[in-house]
Amino acid sequence: MRERLTGLLLALPAIATIALLYLMPLIASMTGAFETEAGFGLGNFVKSTELYTTDILYTLMIVSLSTLIIAGLSIAIAGYLTLGENPKAVAILRWLYRWPLFIPFIVVGQVLRTFLAKNGLMNNLLVAGGILTPLQTVSFLDWRGIVIAFVWKQTPFVTLLVAGAMASIDRGTIEAARNLGASRLRILIEIVVPQVRTTLLVGMVLSFVTMMSVLSVPLMISAQSPTMITADIAFRINAYGDYGVANALGMISLAMTMAVAIVYLRLNLKEKAK
């Protein structure tokens, strides 16, 4: 009994911190979402869906698409790190792929804003290389720019997790497949990826949640209509001082990340059960 009490006392500061700094603001923002001028009601949500349904779907589309591309790329990179046969190429790739991890989202947005513009660096290079004519160039500063920014920034993170998991699987399974004549691609898809599936999914879930909360990238690349929910939340507060609808929009994006978080928790439980 006594030990229990001490344990509880020891945990108390941590619990209090979470309650004060995390739960309280969350609850305040949740109740704020239902506060309208006419008292409690769903007015803010009605307005959110009236004005921002396109943006909500647009956000979901961008973030889901980015997550899928990130998964594909991280499997490819981690797969080459695990199965690659040219030690120099593997070493270079290992050194290179982590760079974006250390670059903040706002910097990514700023760099891509000039890189992807119609007459930006990318198109200028393509034109100089004779691949495009100046009239054929298009600006990528729309949903594509946001997806590129997200993929560029988040792929190393997922790759890091996946490559770690791949390094720790039993090499015997790979060697056996190779002895039987399987190609490296087949080994990757049929032997390696299934064994790191859980880690991959966890990485995807964490990336999804991170991308949902990024404001700087949509602001820097494309804050027009349609835009991402985060830009709308910022606009509601900065232009109108309207915290009600901003909170409602926050709740909606929370619902989206919750759905994904449930997947994450389930996976976690499964892992623990093992």
Partner 1 sequence: MKTFLSAAVLLATVVPPAAAAELTVITAGDQNMVDYVNEYLAPIFEKENPGDTVRAVGTGPGDAGSQKILERFEAQAGAEESDTDVAVVHEKFVGPMVEKGFLKKYRGDISTGKLVTSDKARMALGTDVDGYVMPMFASQTAIAYNPALVENPPRSYAEIADWAKAHPKQFGYNGIKGGASGVSFVMGWIYAFGDGDAKTLMNGPFEESQTKNWGPALEKLKDFNTTATLTPGNAGTLDMLGRGEIAMGPVWVDMFYSWQADGKLPPEMKLLLPAPGMPGQPMHYVIPAKAPHPKLAEKFVELATSPKVQAEGIVKRFNWYPGIDAKYVKAELDQASWDKLFKDVTPEDLAQYAKPFPIAPYNNAILEAYERQVAN
Of 104, 125, 103, the closest CA to residue 114 belongs to 125
Q: Say which DSSP state 191 is in.
A: I
CA-based Rg of the chain, rounded to a whole angstrom?
23
Decide whether 199 or 222 has the Cβ nearer to partner 1: 222
Binding site for partner 1 (CB under 8 A): 50-51, 54, 113-114, 117-120, 139, 141, 219-227, 231-232, 235, 238-240
CA–centroid distance for 155 within its chain: 9
Decide whether 173 or 224 has the Cβ nearer to partner 1: 224
Decide whether 83 or 215 has the Cβ nearer to partner 1: 215
- What tokens appear for 43 in the block? 């007015």
Burial 233-254 (b: 16+ CB within 10 A, else e): bebbeeeeeebbbbbbbbbbbb
Given the structure tokens 């209509």, which residue do they identify?
225
Q: Closest distance between partner 1 and the C-beta of residue 111, in Å?
A: 13
Taking the C-alpha atoms of 266, 272, 273 and 274 in order, what is their torsion angle to the nearest 10 degrees?
Answer: 120
The answer to whether 172 and 237 are in contact (CB under 8 A) is no
Q: Closest distance between partner 1 and the C-beta of residue 220, in Å?
A: 6
User: How many residues are present in the chain?
Assistant: 274
Widest pairwise Cα distance in the chain: 79
Decide whether 106 or 169 has the Cβ nearer to partner 1: 106
Amino acid found at 225:
S
Decide whether 156 or 218 has the Cβ nearer to partner 1: 218
CB neighbours (10 Å) of residue 49?
A: 13
Beta-bridge partner residues of 36: 39
Decide whether 79 or 226 has the Cβ nearer to partner 1: 226
